[in-house]
Amino acid sequence: MEQYAIKGGNPLVGEVEIGGAKNAALPILAASVMTDETVYIENVPDVRDTNVMLSALEGIGVLMKREDRHTVTMNAANISTTVLVDERLKKIRASYYLIGALLGKYKQAEVVLPGGCDIGSRAIDQHIKGFRALGAEVVVEYGMIKTKAEHLVGSHIYMDVVSVGATINVMMAATMAEGKTIIENAAKEPHVVDLANFLNSMGANIKGAGTDVIRIKGVPRLHGTEYAIIPDQIEAGTFMFAAAITKGDVMVKNVITKHLESITAKLLEIGCEVEEADDCVRVVASKPLRHTQVKTLPYPGFPTDMQPQIAVALAMSQGTSIVTESIFENRFKYVDELTRMGANIKVEGNVAIINGVKKYTGASISAPDLRAGAALVLAALSAEGYSTVDDIRYIERGYEDFHLKLQSLGAQIELIETERDFQKFKLKTG
Ligand code: EPZ
C-alpha cells in the first residue's frame, strides 16, 4: 500500500497553483446529464472522486472525451439507463448528485446509496424531503435510493438544516420542474453558486444562489455550454495553513480571495502575515503562532473542511485554543494520530481543547479521512524527524498531486511502498 515518507523541518517556500474545486466539479459533472447537447468543462481537478464520477457517467452511456488532464467534453443524449449501481459510487459522497440530475431530466433515478468520509452520520433526509416536495416518490431499499415522478412541480421548501448536498440536489431537480421553487435556509458555499452558474449557462433560471433563499423557475430543457470550474477554496486553505504550520512563505496562486476570507482572518489572528492580490494570496509565518478560538460554520463561516488543518496549527501554538466542530459529529478522529506526534488535545463532544506544544515529533500515522489526512501531512512536515502516513488514498480523493506540490515548495516528502523504500528515503535525506 502506498504511503508518504516525510522528513520534517523544512519551511515551505515558493509558489503553488490551486486546481478546480472538487466539491463544485462533482455536481457540475453530474448535472451534465441534464442536457442532450454537448458540454465542455474546464478546470476539472484530476482527483479520485471526480474520476469515479466520470467513469460512472461513462458507464451509463455518456459520451466523454478528455481534451486534456483538466478539460472534458461530455454528451449525455443517449444514456442507456437511469440506474447506477457502480460499486465505486459507494465510496463517494457525491454519487447522490446523480439522483437530482437524472430526476430533473428523466423524472426517475436509482442510485446506490452514497459513501464518503466517515465524519458523521451523513444523513440524506433533507434531499428526500426536497424531492418529495417536488412531487417525486422516493424509496430507500436494498442499498439504493430510488425515485420517480409523473412530473415535478415547483414547491416552497424549507431546509431543516443547512445542507450543501441537499441544496445542490434539490436545485438540480427543481431546475426542470414545472413552475417556481423556493429553497429556504439554503447552503451558500461557493460550490453551490458555481453549480447555479453552470445550470444558468445551460438555460436554467436560478436566482439567489449564495444567499439562504434560492428561487428557481423551471424550464423544459437545457442546452449545451462551455464552463470553467472555480478554484478549490479548501485546497487553497490547506496550502495557506501549510505555510503557517511549517513557518514558511507560500504564494498560493489561482484563488478567489473572497472565498478565503474566514481562513485569512484566522491566519491573521494566530500571527501570520497575509497579503492578497487579485487571484493569489501570500502567507508568511515568521513569528511563533498564537492561540485562538474557532467554530466551524456553514459558509461564509470557517469551513468544517479546514478544521483539522487549523487544529494542527493551534496544537503547536503558544497557549490554549478551543476548536468547536458544529457541522459533523465525528470529525476529531485525527486527534489520536496527532497525539502520537506530541500534541496535547482533549476532545469533549464536539469541542477540542488544545494546549499548544513547542513542536511535533515524527511518527507512523494513518489518514482517517480526506481533510484530516492532509492536515496530518502538514504536521509531519513541521515535525522533528521522520514520519510515514498511510491510507493516503483518502488524501488522493481530494488533492491532485499533493506530495508533488509540497515537494515543489521544498518539502521532503515521497511516495513509498515498502520499508526498504523508507530506509532509502532516510539515507537520501539523512
Ligand atoms: C459537503 O458534504 C462536502 N462534500 C463536504 O466536504 C463538506 O464538509 C460539507 O459539504 C459541509 O461543507 C461534498 O461536497 C462532496 P452537508 P455534504 O449536507 O453535502 C447534515 C470534503 O472534505 N445533513 O452540508 O454531505 C449532515 O449530517 C467533504 O470535501 C442532514 O442532517 O454536507 C451534516 O451534519 C467532507 N440531512 C450537516 O447536515 C441531510 O439530508 C452538513 O452536511 C443532509 C445533511
Give per-residue pLDDT as tens, 311-359.
Answer: 999 999 999 999 999 999 999 999 999 999 999 999 999 999 999 999 9
Our answer on whether the CB atom of 7 is closer than 6 Å to any ligand 1 atom is no
CB contact at 8 A, 296 and 308: no
List, for residues 195-217, the tens digit of each pLDDT value: 999 999 999 999 999 999 999 99
Mean pLDDT of the chain: 96
Mean pLDDT on 218-230: 98
CB contact at 8 A, 204 and 129: no
Q: Ligand 1, atom 14: nearest CA belongs to which residue?
A: 23
Active-site residue, from 117, 174, 251, 313: 117
Q: Which residues contact 254 (CB under 8 A, 6 or more apart)?
A: 17, 18, 19, 231, 279, 280
The alpha carbon of residue 198 and the mean position of all alpha carbons in its chain are separated, in whole angstroms, by 18
Our answer on whether the CB atom of 280 is closer than 6 Å to any ligand 1 atom is no
pLDDT at 91 over 80: no
With a threshold of 0.75, does the pTM exceed it? yes
Task: Judge: domain 22-228, CATH 3.65.10.10.
Answer: yes
CATH architecture of 3-19+231-429: Alpha-beta prism (3.65)
Mean pLDDT on 128-138: 98
Our answer on whether the CB atom of 163 is closer than 6 Å to any ligand 1 atom is yes
Better pLDDT: 394 or 94: 394
Share of the chain above pLDDT 90, in %: 93
Name the 3-class secondary structure at 314: helix
Which amino acid is it at 174? A
- Domain spans, the chain: 3-19+231-429, 22-228
For ligand 1, the distance from its centroid to the CA atom of residue 164, given in whole angstroms, is 6
Q: Supply the Cα-derived Rg of the chain in whole angstroms.
A: 22
List, for residues 26-36, the tens digit of each pLDDT value: 999 999 999 99
> 259, 289, 295, 278: which is closest to 359 by C-alpha?
289
For ligand 1, the distance from its centroid to the CA atom of residue 219, given in whole angstroms, is 28
List, for residues 145-191, the tens digit of each pLDDT value: 999 999 999 999 999 999 999 999 999 999 999 999 999 999 999 99
Three-state secondary structure string covering 358-424: CCCECCEEECCCHHHHHHHHHHHHHCECEEEEECCHHHHCCCCCHHHHHHHCCCEEEEECCHHHHHH
Judge if 3-19+231-429 and 22-228 fold alike in CATH terms.
yes
| 117 among known catalytic residues | yes
